[in-house]
Every structure is written in structure tokens, then in C-alpha cells.
Amino acid sequence: MVKPSEQSSHDSERTLALRLRVWRQLRGGEGHFEEYSLAAVPVSASFLEMMDMLNEQLIREGKDTIAFDHDCREGICGMCSMTINGMPHGPIPGVTTCQLHMRNFRDGETITVEPWRARAFPVLKDLAVNRSAFDKVIQAGGFITVRTGSAPEANNTLIPKPIADEAMDAAECIGCGACVASCKNGSAMLFVGAKINHLNILPQGQPERERRTLAMVKTMDDAGFGNCTNYGECQAHCPKGITLDVIAKLNRDYLRARVKDFFSSTGKARKGGE
């Protein structure tokens, strides 16, 4: 592996010949691996650009192209996925697949490319999976209820800097699903923990804090995600560096919400505040 700082101009012109084992699956069908050879891949290409080259080759050969998710290609949208050699977003910690460059691979290497594997993320086609379970979790409580319209006066709600920083750290989550894909339990608790922390520690998140926590956890469970057993794989694979802290706080907030709900006279939190 060559560090970016060690590259010379000569190095950036280097190309790779690769063998790719790619998961192919038709909608509703059983999947299988197919092998492809791809020559002259520039080391400066991103992994997605390499996949584009492979698709162009398939088009020239009159074959069906490989479906994969992508959008911004600058590491912030959360669309790209792919488990590369068993690692969601590939071998370099802290980057998404679109920001992973081919200089991190060896000439002649065989690269195995699979979709996210989890029951809650069914494969749509090839490497594209359906991540709408995450959308459902967000719809259950990943918001604050406010009157929109004219912008409120910024100084009306004062937020201490450390709290704002903590909320921003949690809000860094792009919802890509690498936590679920890397978890040996198919658990989404890093994602749900990040979203709950982001809102639950801010003043604007307080009115719906308990309702949000209970509803998001219930939606997460109903979607068929697994349960965290504190492996820490999610933290080690998260492209945004979200830590297990958010799961500890999710657990704490859930316990707090259940206790408050249990002793509330109306039980409104459990019913979703309706």
C-alpha cells in the first residue's frame, strides 16, 4: 500500500490489471459470483470509476451492466455501498467507496465485491440493496416538529459549544449502512444511536425525546435488524468515525424513556404522542 504522500507524478500514471469477483443477482433471483478481468485501471481512479470502466467493458461486449448505488461521489451522500474484500467501503478506514482509490490495490489482485449483507437490506439487483428500512427509522422519529417558515432568531436557543460539537459528531452519519453490513449481528444500532444522539442532546430535540427514542427503536426492531452485542465492528468500519458512544447513549436514553413512560400517567410516549 502506498501512502498518498509518497506518490510521485510517475506513480499516478501507473495502471493495474485486476481480476474482479462480483456478485450478480437479478431482482427476486438467487445470486452468484461472476469473474471479470479488467486491464489498464489507473491508480488515480476511484473504486466507482473502476466499476464504471468495468461496465463500459460489459456494454462493449453486449452484456448486462452491474447495478451499484452512487450519487455525490465526494463521500457525503451515503449512497455508495459495496463490501470490498469483506470490508464495507473497502480496506481504508474513514472513507466511502467513492473516495477509495485504486492505488490501495495491487497489480494482478483479485478483488471480491459484494452487496451489503443483512436481512433488513434485501438485494435489489447485483450490488444495489434496498435501504428504505433506514428511511422508516428516520420517519419514526429522526426529526423535530417545528413550525417552518421564517428563520427563528438564532440566539433564542442557546446551545453550549461542547453539546453542539457532540451533536455535530453524531450528525456526521450519512446513513450509508456500513455499520449494518459490518456487524456480525446485522444490527443498526450505530445508525439509530447516531440519529437519536444528534437530536436528543439538543434543546430542540427535548420535547419529543422519549417518543422519538421508543419509536425509532421499535421501527428498527420491526425492520428485522439484529441486536448489538458490543463487537465494535461498526465503529471500525464507519466511514464517518461514529463511535460506540452513540450506542451507549442510545441504550441509556431507551432505558430512561421506558422508565419515564412506565411511570407516566398517560402513557403517551409509547403510543407515539398521538
Question: Which residues are near another protein by CB under 8 A?
Answer: 23, 33, 83, 85-87, 112, 114, 117-120, 181-187, 189, 217-218, 220-221, 224-233, 235-237, 243-245, 247-255, 258, 270
- Phi, psi at residue 227, to the nearest 5°? -110, 140
Contact by Cβ (8 Å): 99, 46: yes
To another protein, the closest distance from the beta carbon of 28 in angstroms equals 15
Nearer to another protein, 65 or 112 (CB): 112
d(C-alpha 161, C-alpha 168), whole Å:
10
d(C-alpha 218, C-alpha 251), whole Å:
13
Nearer to another protein, 73 or 117 (CB): 117
Nearer to another protein, 12 or 110 (CB): 110
To another protein, the closest distance from the beta carbon of 224 in angstroms equals 6
Helices (H), the chain: 9-12, 47-60, 132-141, 161-171, 178-182, 189-200, 209-222, 233-237, 245-263
**CA distance readout (Å), 174 to 79, 82, 154, 234:** 9, 15, 25, 14
CA distance between the termini of the chain: 55
To another protein, the closest distance from the beta carbon of 56 in angstroms equals 26
Cell numbers 467507496: residue: 97
Close Cβ partners of 148 (under 8 Å, ≥ 6 residues apart):
none
**Which residues are registered as beta bridge partners of 113?**
22, 84
d(C-alpha 187, C-alpha 95), whole Å:
21
Nearer to another protein, 40 or 109 (CB): 109
To another protein, the closest distance from the beta carbon of 115 in angstroms equals 9
To another protein, the closest distance from the beta carbon of 58 in angstroms equals 21
**CA distance readout (Å), 112 to 15, 35, 54, 115:** 19, 9, 14, 10
To another protein, the closest distance from the beta carbon of 40 in angstroms equals 26
To another protein, the closest distance from the beta carbon of 198 in angstroms equals 16
Nearer to another protein, 42 or 232 (CB): 232
Nearer to another protein, 49 or 245 (CB): 245
Residue 216 burial (CB count, 10 A): 27
